[in-house]
Amino acid sequence: MMNAPTNVHATAVVVGKTGLLFVGPSGWGKSMLAFACISEAQRLGIAAVLVADDQVLISQRGGDVIAECPASIAGLMELRGTGIVRLPHITEAPMHYAVLPGSTSGEDRVPPEGERATIASGIDLPALRLLSNTPLPLAVLMAKALDIGR
């Protein structure tokens, strides 16, 4: 079964065979964190590509959450303060995790185990939390989810 795609404000990348969907408020650093993950993966010899930046079309096919790129922005990523860059890309891919903003203090400092994020109506993914100023975001994500990059 496939539902009509929903356009969400996010950035989707694939590291190895793992789809990562960076979701959060404008200005959080979704694009920069996703770019850092792609760059870090490539330095480690792990394949990594952009699916879509800023606008991601999300749908469900069977049991998979699929991210697609609108044709008008294929291969383009905005790095705030730097401008638009062109990156190797694919037009669609299954997503496996939602990467959400982390918190440095308070009750939310340690997110609950098994947390899930609703991406669109009836569509959710396991959630991973990440601070926007994390110097090695891929290393942090891989420490939490051992299947990333495989």
In this predicted model, what pLDDT tens digit does every residue of 73-89 receive, in sequence order? 999 999 988 999 999 99
Angle at 98 between CA 94 and CA 101, to 5 degrees: 155
pLDDT, tens digit (0-9, with 9 covering 90-100), for 100-143: 998 877 666 778 788 999 999 999 999 999 999 999 999 999 99
List domains and CATH numbers for the chain.
6-144 (3.40.50.300)
Taking the C-alpha atoms of residue 110 and residue 112, their distance in angstroms, rounded to an integer, is 7
Which position has the higher pLDDT, 4 or 13?
A: 13
**Bridge partners of 54?**
10
Largest alpha-carbon pair distance within the chain?
41
pTM of the predicted structure, to 2 decimals: 0.94
Phi and psi at 108, nearest 5°, equal -85, 5
Quick one: pLDDT at residue 110?
A: 77
Answer for the pair 95, 65: CB distance below 8 angstroms, yes or no. yes
Q: What is the pLDDT of residue 2?
A: 56
- 19, pLDDT greater than 60: yes
* d(C-alpha 47, C-alpha 41), whole Å: 7
Give the mean model confidence (pLDDT) for residues 47-51.
98
Mean pLDDT (whole number) for 4-16:
96
Q: Is 80:31 a contact under the CB 8 Å cutoff? A: yes
